Amino acid sequence: MPHFLDIHTTDKPALRGMIDQARAMKEARNGLPKATPDADQPLRNHMVALIFEKPSTRTRVSFDVGVRQMGGQTMVLSGKEMQLGHGETIADTARVLSRYVDLIMIRTFEETVLQELAEYASVPVINGLTNRTHPCQIMADILTYEEHRGPIKGRKVVWSGDGNNVCASFLHAAGQFGFDLTFTGPEALDPDPEFVALARAEGAKIEIIRDPVEAVAGADLVVTDTWVSMHDSQSNRERRHNLLRAYQVNDALMAQAKPDALFMHCLPAHREEEVTNAVMDGPQSVVFDEAENRLHAQKAVMRYCLGL
């Protein structure tokens, strides 16, 4: 079953094919009104279930619009509307949904929920985000970088801040797409050593450098993410701000990167915290291209899963 659960569990040629197809589909839409269906309707007569246990803006809208543009229909379900893992086992939910829909995307908390859903579903399952990884975001990021600067292979990417789920998927991508990644952040928030080891095993140069100025030197791409989540307590928010303040991406830090380096953030951003307005709205920022490319990259992911 061609699930899309993580970047490191997807074949390299398939990943490259998805990026190339996403770019071709985006170019085919140039000049068309946003609501216009694609000329190619590969999801015609297909139903896609979009499950959200965690709130979402970009993931929900981009998947929903993507399915509709490709001629399919969506069923959007929240955790409150389902008995996922509560009144009914995840395995049984997977079996039942597979009788109704052709594809399942889930945005959830625990990776075990995603894995069990995929194990028992008889239709493809896409990881829309877990607390552990966020592969769809990184597919959009690769697409965005290559649109602006050409192949990402051999480039230097610097992640500044918290070694979270988005950072984890960047590490997976480093191994699969052949770029190097430097993490700069406090030791308490280092990325999972397992993911670092996976990337290194694929030949990627992975470094952990505490000094952000040293880390960003010569970077082709600088990436960050929010320091706190919506579920963090006030005391944890203060702790994280104290830990991460030195890793804010600002003009002084970007000046250490290459002159043509890009800046990315998966959004939503807490402006003037992890990144300044000057960088977010500056000439090196591609954050809104990055957000748009969630749509195109995920359309390619869905086509891959359905063999279309």
Buried-state track 55-72, b at ≥16 Cβ within 10 A, e below 16: ebebbbebbbbbbbbbeb
Buried-state track 185-203, b at ≥16 Cβ within 10 A, e below 16: bbeebebbeebbebbeebe
Active site residues: 107, 134, 137, 225, 266, 294
Phi, psi at 69, each rounded to 5°: -60, -35
Residue 248 pLDDT = 98
Buried-state track 145-184, b at ≥16 Cβ within 10 A, e below 16: bbbebeebeebbbbbbbbbbbbbbbbbbbbbbbbbbbbbb
Which tokens hold the place of 306?
A: 């359905």
| Confidence (pTM) | 0.95
Average pLDDT along the chain, 308 residues, taken 10 residues at a time: 95 98 97 92 97 92 98 91 76 96 96 97 98 98 98 98 98 98 97 98 98 98 90 78 96 98 97 98 98 98 98
Phi, psi at 89, each rounded to 5°: -65, 155
Residue 112 pLDDT = 96
Q: Exposed, middle or buried by CB within 10 Å (0-12, 13-18, 19+), for 52?
A: buried
In Å, how far are 91, 131, 177, 193, 263 from 208, measured between CA atoms?
Answer: 39, 22, 19, 11, 19
